[in-house]
A = this chain, B = another copy of it.
Amino acid sequence: MSYNLLKGKKGIIFGALNDMSIAWKVAERSYEEGAEFILTNTPVSMRLGSVDELAKKCNTEVVAADATKDSDLENLIKIAMEKYGKLDFVLHSIGMSPNVRKKLPYDQLSYDYYHKTLDISALSFHKVISQLKKHKAMNDWGSIVALSYVAAQRTLYGYNDMADAKSLLESIARSFGYIYGRESRVRINTISQSPTMTTAGSGVKGIDGLMDFTERMSPLGNATALECADYCITMFSDLTKKVTMQNLFHDGGFSSMGMSLRAMTQYNKSLDIEIDE
C-alpha cells in the first residue's frame, strides 16, 4: 500500500545488504511511497550482498562508498546532487564491531578494534552529516535517521563495544541535530529498533534466546524490519517536522517494560514456579 508520503522526495540510503536488512526494507517502502534515492554500501558489502537486485527493483543505482571515508562520501553526495539536486532524507544503517567478530570480550578488547567500532558505527554518522552540511546537500526540513539499539541505555550480555558505539551514535544525533537544526532546519533522530534477525543481528551472541525474551516482554512483540521501515517513512515525511534530537523506541513496548506476565511465566518454568495469571 502506498500513501505517496514521500512523493518528490530524494534521499540516500546507507546499509542495505540483503532482503533481511532494515535498510533494504526502508528502500522498498520509500520507493513505494514515491521517493527517489541512491543506495550505497561498502564495496565488500556490495559483493557479499545483493543490493544490485534492490537497485533494479527501486529503479535506481548503487554507489559504492565507505562511510568512514570523507572522499567516498563527497563522491557519493556529488553524484546524488547531480542526479537530484538537494536531498530530503538520509538513512544511516551501519554498524560493525571487530571486537565482536573476533570474540574479544569487553574487558579484554583491542583498542584498535574499539576505535574501528566507533569509527564505523558512530563516527561514520558524523562524517555523513558533516559532508551533507558542507555541500549544502539537504533541503530545509530534511530528515536524517540512524538506527540504534536499547543497548545504548542498558547493558546486554555479549553486545560488547557496540553498546558504547550506539551511545555515541545517539549523542552525535543530538549534537549535530542542534547545529544542523538551527542552521538549516534539518532534523536528526535515531530509531531504537527491537533486536532483528538481520545478517548483522544474527551475529549477536545468544540472539535466539534474547529475541524470545524480548518477544514475550513486549506487549506488541518484537518489531520487524518491515515495520521499522514503515516507521522510518513517517520520520522522513513532512508530518514529523518538529521531531529532532530524539531517540525513538520502535520495539513493541520493550523499553518501557520491567516484567511481563508472559516473560515471567516462561522464566518461572526454569524455576518450576507456577504463576497465577
Contact = CB atoms under 8 A, between A and B. Distances in A.
A185 B218 CA distance: 11
A252 to B, nearest CB: 5
Nearest to A235: B234
A177 B219 contact: yes
Interface stretch (A51-59, A85-93, A259-267): A259-267
A154 interface: yes
State the oligomeric state as a number of copies: 4
Interface centre among A220, A223, A230, A273 (most CB of B within 10 A): A220
Contacts of A181: 218-220, 252-253
A213 B177 CA distance: 18
Interface string A107-125: 1100100110011000100
B266 A244 contact: no
Given A155-B257, A261-B182, A209 B275 contact: yes
Interface stretch (A12-20, A36-44, A74-82, A167-175): A167-175
A169 to B, nearest CB: 9
Interface in A147-161: 150-161
A176 interface: yes
B268 A209 contact: yes
A107 to B, nearest CB: 5
A259 B210 CA distance: 8
Interface residues of A, number: 105
A96 interface: no
Contacts of A130: 107-108
A47 B119 CA distance: 33
A177 to B, nearest CB: 6
Interface string A216-234: 0011110110011011011
Given A155-B177, A181-B220, A209-B267, 7 more contacts: A107-B176, A118-B168, A153-B258, A155-B245, A157-B259, A160-B175, A181-B253
Interface of A: 1, 3-5, 105-108, 111, 114-115, 118-119, 123, 126-127, 129-130, 133-134, 150-161, 163-164, 166-168, 170-172, 174-182, 185, 187, 194, 205-206, 208-210, 212-213, 218-221, 223-224, 227-228, 230-231, 233-234, 237-246, 248-253, 255-262, 264, 266-271, 273, 275-276
23 contacts: A3-B3, A105-B179, A107-B129, A107-B133, A108-B130, A115-B119, A118-B118, A152-B171, A155-B174, A155-B257, A177-B253, A178-B256, A181-B219, A187-B220, A206-B275, A208-B273, A219-B245, A220-B242, A227-B241, A227-B242, A231-B242, A244-B253, A245-B256
